[in-house]
């Protein structure tokens, strides 16, 4: 962060006396009485102004620090992670009603005023996003709230330099439904890490892995028009993912993909059971 420094310029004024030539008095004084002029006061040298000391540097804002292992704050983070995973699983399965309780718990786990100051803005964003998941009217709204939870987590993690992730290589898609869904799932996890870690490398790896068509024809046939529509939307969003660099834009793409996953799962009978 740039720290501004104000340095005062010191101007020293030096008084200089002007020298004039002497004038000879007149040979005889005038008849009228002339009041004698008071002698001019002696010139006073101009004093140099007192130097202004340089302003103290502005203090850099405090950064959030990772809680030590085993501390209450570390345990709070573990609870948050579990609750967010429950929310994501509920949304991708097409069961937004199952996301309500973990979202409620996520928004009520801590008194924000008691947190370290650097944590509070991110925690407030997380609480707001979890409230949207609780009150969402449809899958799209719930998915958008879930993506914004990831952004809130990422804004705090970024300030403390973690967590770290190992990306690895995606599974080979192959021709089977299991193989293609494994690659699909791997890619979506990397996109999520792109938001909540946050990690651009993970985001780009996930976006690249989604460029292959993960939907076998027989699966789409079972899904009917809803399955085919979801697959079309998914491919369109997946094509946009590699170009997204701004966190909010990445969150919007992730939310869209999450919603299409849920729609497809519901269409083929794998969700909402």
Domain ranges of the chain: 72-267
Please tell me the number of Cα atoms within 13 Å of 197 on its side-chain side: 17
Residue 63 pLDDT: 56
The string of pLDDT tens digits covering residues 68-98 is 788 887 888 889 999 999 999 999 999 999 9
Phi and psi dihedrals of 29, rounded to 5?
A: -70, 155
State the pTM of this model. 0.73
* Residue 65 and residue 161 in contact, taking contact as beta carbons nearer than 8 Å: no
The string of pLDDT tens digits covering residues 47-65 is 444 555 454 444 444 555 6
- What gap in Å lies between CA 273 and CA 270, rounded to an integer? 7
- What gap in Å lies between CA 207 and CA 104, rounded to an integer? 31
Phi and psi dihedrals of 25, rounded to 5?
A: -65, 155
Q: Which of 200, 199, 210 is nearest to 170 (CA)?
A: 210
The string of pLDDT tens digits covering residues 186-205 is 999 999 999 999 999 999 99
Q: What angle do CA 128, 75, 197 make, to 5 degrees?
A: 60
């Amino acid at each position: 962060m740039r720290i501004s420094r104000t340095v005062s310029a010191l101007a020293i004024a030096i008084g200089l006396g002007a020298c004039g030539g002497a004038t000879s008095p007149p040979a005889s004084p005038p008849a009228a009485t002339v009041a004698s002029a008071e002698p001019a006061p002696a010139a006073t040298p101009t004093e140099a102004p007192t130097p202004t000391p340089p302003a103290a540097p502005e203090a850099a804002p405090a950064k959030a620090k990772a809680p030590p292992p085993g501390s209450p704050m570390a345990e709070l983070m573990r609870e948050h992670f579990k609750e967010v995973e429950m929310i994501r699983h509920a949304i991708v399965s097409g069961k937004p009603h199952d996301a309500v309780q973990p979202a409620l718990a996520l928004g009520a786990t801590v008194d924000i005023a008691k947190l370290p100051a650097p944590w509070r803005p991110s925690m407030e964003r997380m609480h707001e996003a979890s409230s949207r998941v609780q009150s969402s009217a449809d899958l799209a709204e719930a998915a958008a709230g879930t993506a914004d939870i990831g952004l809130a987590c990422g804004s705090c993690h970024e300030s403390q330099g973690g967590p770290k992730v190992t990306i690895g290589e995606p599974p080979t898609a192959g021709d089977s439904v299991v193989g293609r869904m494994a690659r699909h799932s791997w890619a979506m996890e990397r996109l999520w890490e792109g938001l909540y870690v946050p990690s651009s490398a993970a985001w780009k790896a996930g976006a690249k892995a989604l460029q292959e068509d993960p939907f076998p024809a027989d699966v789409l046939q079972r899904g009917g028009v809803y399955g085919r529509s979801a697959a079309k939307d998914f491919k369109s969003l997946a094509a946009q993912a590699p170009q997204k660099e701004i966190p909010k834009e990445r969150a919007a793409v992730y939310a869209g993909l999450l919603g299409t996953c849920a729609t497809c799962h519901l269409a083929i009978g794998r969700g909402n059971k």
